[in-house]
A and B are shown apart, each in its own frame.
Chain A
């Protein structure tokens, strides 16, 4: 079952549902802050924030959305060529006592999220941290699960899941290919 598994309308519907689930779970958006993990978590977080602001009056999408670069918290730095460090920007309200919703494109081994939790700890003390992902492809290596999932995709380890987004690749699609070795998202 390789090929394009989700198209633009599917991704849009999934993000709309996630936005509503976030609101339901947290009784509104008063203390919700979204942190996207670069590269593709960031535009996804921005889209979810926009969708929340469409239904919640007083939710300022740009003031409640930030970026969390986790490069310097990875546990596999010494096994790979040097990675350039991305930008971390904390929303103006800060993260102390807020509900932080981490946003990433693909949940796989869970190691990225482990690193993100460490990074958050150095930025402040949120009231709670929740996780939203567009795709959960399984094969966890750590006890981590997502609170909000766009699509569960059962995959084999050798397959590759690529998320393309308009902001980066110019199109919205989730593509499954037979690759050698999975990505580590």
Chain B
């Protein structure tokens, strides 16, 4: 593995290797001294063209726990806002000796362009591009689900599990990353969304689609439910509304205590954060013992440590 651009490119073996490595990384994070010397002397650049404090600090923590040097490069207030192209930014990073570039970009495909053009030698990790992919989020979701739902998880996938993803599938790179990774790992994916928030061309995806949360809970024994964030301002009002009102969305797609109670007893609730309490998830559901939302954050650091280790620790290939 030279870059991590998206989940469709990951083989089952590669995905399981990342999850197994993440489990060992997570174990080191329970020690008194949580820092490991593994990536001493390596430089990781966080290149963020879009604000995302959570993802950035998660990558930053992961790199620092492995003793890599971290440079944060935010587009706002930098040379990028003065009109610098992606190419010139990449050449700058190359000149600074970046061994890995963690890139978040508003344009789908920007990380791939960075990886495939011959601008720099560093490894590229996609930290979210447009409405395309966010592979480390899907990996941390899979890691969290495997930890809770698979006995003796080392070396195993998610075979036979049913995982529901609820909300704005249309704009969600989290959903797009998860559907391929979860399927590769042997799970079955169920989408729950209003018809207006289901992407065109979904017929080719390995998913079942429902247009109401009650119906989906009825039809499947869901092992995990992943609630996506609803961008309130984007969704209602004007000619571009995707649903009539937030209240109606909550009534049809929100997870509350009642719906939580109708899930199988072992089922877990996930959310990539930040949550809109009262919109896609009620406070009761978010704070219930079956919610693993806070744990997802900790697992995110372990998964990103694993990805950095697997990309950066081995011998430099000529590729």
Chain A interface (Cβ < 8 Å from any Cβ of B):
69, 72-73, 77-88, 118, 121-124
Q: Are B35 and A122 in touch, CB under 8 angstroms?
A: yes
Q: Are B37 and A81 in touch, CB under 8 angstroms?
A: no
Q: Which of B32, B37, B309, B314 contacts A85 (CB 8 A)?
A: B309
Interface CB pairs A-B, < 8 A, 8 = A72-B309, A77-B314, A82-B310, A84-B17, A87-B24, A88-B24, A122-B36, A123-B31
- A93, B36: Cα distance in complex, Å: 23
Q: Are A81 and B314 in touch, CB under 8 angstroms?
A: yes
> Residues of B contacting A87 with CB < 8 Å?
24, 27
Binding site of A, secondary structure by majority: helix, strand, loop or mixed?
Answer: loop
- A69, B31: Cα distance in complex, Å: 14
- A151, B142: Cα distance in complex, Å: 47
**Lowest 7 A-B CB distances belong to which pairs?**
A82-B314, A122-B33, A72-B38, A85-B24, A77-B313, A72-B36, A81-B314
**B36 closest partner in A (C-beta):** A72
Q: Which of B27, B31, B309, B314 contacts A122 (CB 8 A)?
A: B31
> Residues of B contacting A123 with CB < 8 Å?
31-33
Chain B interface (Cβ < 8 Å from any Cβ of A):
17, 20-21, 24-25, 27-28, 31-33, 35-38, 66, 309-310, 313-316
- A124, B33: Cα distance in complex, Å: 8
Known pairs A87-B24, A123-B33; list 10 more (Cβ under 8 Å).
Answer: A72-B28, A73-B37, A78-B313, A78-B314, A82-B310, A82-B313, A84-B17, A84-B20, A85-B21, A85-B309
- A86, B24: Cα distance in complex, Å: 7
- Known interface pairs A73-B37, A122-B31. Does A81 touch B24 (Cβ–Cβ under 8 Å)? no
> Residues of A contacting B17 with CB < 8 Å?
84
> Residues of A contacting B27 with CB < 8 Å?
87-88
Q: Are B37 and A72 in touch, CB under 8 angstroms?
A: yes
Q: Are A78 and B38 in touch, CB under 8 angstroms?
A: no
Of B24, B25, B310, B316, the most chain A CB neighbours within 10 A belong to: B24
- A84, B314: Cα distance in complex, Å: 10
Q: Are B32 and A78 in touch, CB under 8 angstroms?
A: no
> Residues of A contacting B24 with CB < 8 Å?
69, 85-88
Of B28, B66, B313, B314, the most chain A CB neighbours within 10 A belong to: B313
> Residues of A contacting B35 with CB < 8 Å?
122
- A80, B20: Cα distance in complex, Å: 20
- A95, B315: Cα distance in complex, Å: 33
- A85, B154: Cα distance in complex, Å: 12
> Residues of B contacting A72 with CB < 8 Å?
28, 36-38, 66, 309
